[in-house]
């Protein structure tokens, strides 16, 4: 039938399913990047886990490649945009290790609270040290959950059974949904200032890398203990070691690290730190689920059938009229999430002009895919995006009107106190943002953007541009917009690099500045 290259250990049940379907299963473990490029030639499917990196070069090496399957959740090691461009489907097993990872989080939470690994090691070394390894109870303590997706929710349910008070930070979850879970939502700094324990359940993005660093640790409640079974790099390991040494943090339990595999870290020599070698998904049950799920998804893809866990979409699934707007819709969703600092309770998606006559459901899915791209631990796909919206209490309303006053087609998002609209301009169909918070603007979306709302008076442009220049931030584009009332003005700037938190804060407190939002591509 088809040759399937498997580069990492997969459960035998999954491999047997593929062979039973008549496929040639070629298992080659431990391939170097160069050897992978050679091995993938002629393969119709490639199945990996977390150690194999699928680059654009790997994808291009086999024109016959139909699908890449990741036996797990994360897709940090797959160039999904390159796969989409080449027409290669990317699938994963997003539900295979959710329960396993939540249970490992609880195991690490208990191990950190009761010093279990340290006491175990001491006793096996011939030391009876009851008083040295005295721990603390979970009951009555406050648990701060950062990221309230499926895994974070499972952890919350289990922590609730321990009698813990629950607070969480997740701008993509509505207050109503949090109340249903008996959880209080709060800001990140407030969370670390109130919590006795913190667990992390985040996707790794440019915005979350180093999120837990020196600045945040200095705001921690004395005695805080932190647990990370999500992604390495979200915690600055050197900063955590410093915070423990300074007494800002009492201890930590880590399953993931910035560089993996690793046997060296400034944390490994600290008695109050518990570590495991990325075991969050390592149970027999999770591996069996991942193997069976990815085998099923790959078989469906090779047969040309609907693939439930596809994380990208074949362009052929969208009509000719809609297809060019897919990247714009996803980008608008991501920008809206940054502008609104999360997801609104209600999101209105309006299509104006010729788009109103087309089937725009795939565009709305693209908007949601962008909206939730920075939320939770799992990859966001066209399939699970509506489910994520429902889980986070976001109501999605789609409307259409064939009347478009200024543009042939227009996609508009509204929710909370924010609005954003975009279109494709010119013969080449270049993306343009044409409205932001009801201010008329016109500029292409950039990887890094700054939205400044200010008094409509002289000197404001100079204040902002001079501040950016002094900080070494280059401005590549700038557009000014006025509100209908004329009382406030809006500056939208495209910049060549992310703007630091310190600079953002200086701008926010400057005279005449009302709000400042940094919008970056996740």
231's CB contacts (< 8 A; 6+ apart) are 74, 76, 202, 203, 204, 208, 256, 377
The domain at 3-95+284-302 falls in which architecture? 3-Layer(aba) Sandwich (3.40)
Q: What is the DSSP letter of 360?
A: -
User: Mean pLDDT over residues 176-181, rounded?
Assistant: 89
Tell me the pLDDT band of 133, cut-offs 50, 70 and 90.
Answer: very high
> Is residue 316 scored above 50 in pLDDT?
no
CA-CA distance, 216 to 221, in Å (whole number)? Answer: 11
Q: What is the 3-state secondary structure (H, E, C) of 15-66?
A: HHHHHHCCCEEEECCCCCHHHHHHHCCCCCEEEECCCCCECHHHHHCCCCCC
Tell me the pLDDT band of 378, cut-offs 50, 70 and 90.
Answer: low
CA-CA distance, 155 to 174, in Å (whole number)? Answer: 18
How many separate helices (H) and strands (E) can be counted in the chain? Answer: 17, 22
442-494: pLDDT as tens digits: 888 888 888 898 888 888 899 999 999 998 999 988 888 766 666 678 888 88
Domain residue limits, the chain: 3-95+284-302, 98-275, 315-520
The residues annotated with a catalytic role in the active site are 231, 260, 278
CA-CA distance, 280 to 107, in Å (whole number)? Answer: 10
Structure tokens at 376: 């939770």
Burial of 37 (0-12, 13-18, 19+ CB in 10 A): middle
User: Mean pLDDT over residues 21-36, rounded?
Assistant: 94
84-107: pLDDT as tens digits: 778 788 999 888 889 999 999 999
350-374: pLDDT as tens digits: 999 988 888 888 899 889 988 988 7
Superfamily the domain 98-275 falls into: NAD(P)-binding Rossmann-like Domain (3.40.50.720)
Q: What is the pLDDT of residue 303?
A: 86
Q: What is the pLDDT of residue 521?
A: 61
Least confident interval from 20-29, 218-227, 237-246, 379-388: 379-388
Torsion 341-345-346-347 (CA) sign: positive
Dihedral pair phi/psi, residue 36, rounded to 5°: -65, -40
191-204: pLDDT as tens digits: 999 999 999 999 88
User: Mean pLDDT over residues 511-522, rounded?
Assistant: 81
- Cross-strand bridge partners of residue 431: 424
Number of residues in the chain: 522
Closest by Cα among 144, 128, 108 to 224: 144
CA-CA distance, 117 to 270, in Å (whole number)? Answer: 13
State whether residue 13 is helix, strand or coil.
helix
The residue among 339 and 145 whose pLDDT is bigger is 145
Ranges 161-175, 318-332, 361-375, 500-514, most confident: 161-175
Q: Following CA atoms 258, 261, 264, 266 in sequence, which dihedral angle do they give, to the nearest 10 degrees?
A: 20
State whether residue 520 is helix, strand or coil.
strand
Structure tokens at 208: 């979350």
Is there a contact between 442 and 433 (Cβ–Cβ < 8 Å)? yes
450's CB contacts (< 8 A; 6+ apart) are 464, 468, 491, 492, 493, 495, 499, 516, 517, 518, 519
CA-CA distance, 76 to 58, in Å (whole number)? Answer: 15
Q: What is the pLDDT of residue 497?
A: 86
Asked if the domains 3-95+284-302 and 98-275 are classified in one and the same CATH topology, the answer is yes
Whether domain 315-520 has CATH 3.30.1330.90: yes
Q: What is the pLDDT of residue 388?
A: 83
Q: What is the pLDDT of residue 318?
A: 61
Tell me the pLDDT band of 343, cut-offs 50, 70 and 90.
Answer: confident
Left, alpha or beta for 189 (phi > 0: left; psi -120 to 50: alpha)? Answer: alpha
> Is residue 428 scored above 90 in pLDDT?
no
User: Mean pLDDT over residues 376-380, rounded?
Assistant: 66
């Amino acid at each position: 039938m088809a040759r399937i290259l498997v580069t990492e250990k997969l459960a035998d049940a999954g491999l047997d399913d593929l062979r039973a379907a008549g496929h040639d299963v070629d298992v080659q473990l431990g391939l170097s990047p160069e050897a992978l490029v050679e091995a993938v030639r002629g393969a119709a499917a490639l199945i990996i886990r977390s150690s194999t990196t699928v680059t654009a070069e790997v994808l291009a090496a086999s024109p016959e490649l139909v699908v890449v399957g990741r036996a797990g959740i994360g897709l940090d090691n797959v160039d999904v945009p390159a796969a989409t461009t080449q027409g290669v489907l990317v699938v994963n097993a997003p539900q295979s290790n959710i329960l396993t990872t939540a249970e490992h989080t609880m195991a690490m939470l208990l191990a950190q609270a009761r010093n279990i690994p340290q006491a175990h090691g001491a006793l096996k070394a011939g030391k009876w040290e009851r008083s040295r390894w005295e721990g603390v109870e979970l009951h009555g303590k406050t648990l701060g959950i950062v990221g309230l997706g499926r895994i974070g929710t499972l952890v919350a349910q289990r922590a609730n059974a321990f009698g813990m008070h629950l607070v969480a930070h997740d701008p993509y979850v509505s207050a109503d949904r949090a109340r249903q879970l008996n959880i209080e939502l709060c800001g990140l700094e407030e969370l670390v200032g109130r919590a006795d324990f913190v667990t992390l359940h985040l996707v790794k993005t440019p915005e979350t890398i180093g999120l837990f660093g020196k600045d945040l640790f200095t705001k921690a409640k004395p005695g805080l203990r932190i647990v990370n079974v999500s992604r390495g790099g979200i915690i600055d390991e050197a900063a955590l070691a410093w915070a423990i040494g300074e007494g800002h943090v009492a201890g930590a339990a880590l399953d993931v690290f910035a560089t993996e595999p690793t046997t060296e870290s400034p944390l490994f020599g600290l008695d109050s730190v518990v570590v495991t070698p990325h075991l969050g998904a390592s149970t027999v049950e999770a591996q069996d689920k991942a193997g069976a799920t990815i085998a099923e998804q790959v078989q469906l893809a090779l047969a040309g059938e609907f693939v439930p866990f596809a994380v990208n979409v074949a362009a052929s699934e969208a009509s000719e009229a809609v297809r060019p707007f897919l990247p714009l819709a996803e980008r608008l969703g991501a920008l809206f999430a940054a502008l609104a600092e999360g997801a609104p309770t209600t999101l209105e998606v309006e299509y104006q002009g010729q788009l109103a006559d087309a089937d725009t459901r795939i565009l709305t899915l693209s908007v949601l895919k962008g909206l939730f791209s920075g939320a939770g631990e799992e990859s966001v796909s066209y399939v699970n995006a509506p489910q994520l919206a429902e889980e986070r209490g976001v109501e999605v309303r789609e409307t259409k009107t064939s009347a478009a006053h200024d543009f042939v087609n227009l996609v508009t998002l509204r929710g909370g106190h924010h609005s954003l609209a975009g279109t494709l301009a010119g013969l080449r169909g270049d993306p343009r943002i044409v409205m932001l918070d009801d201010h008329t603007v016109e500029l292409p979306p950039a990887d890094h953007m700054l939205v400044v709302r200010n008094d409509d008076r002289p000197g404001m442009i100079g204040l902002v541009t001079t501040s950016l220049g002094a900080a070494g931030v280059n401005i590549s584009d700038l557009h000014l917009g006025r509100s209908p009332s004329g009382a406030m003005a809006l500056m939208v700037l495209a910049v060549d690099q992310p703007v630091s938190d310190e600079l953002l804060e200086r701008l926010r407190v400057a005279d005449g500045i009302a709000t400042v939002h940094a919008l970056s591509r996740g």
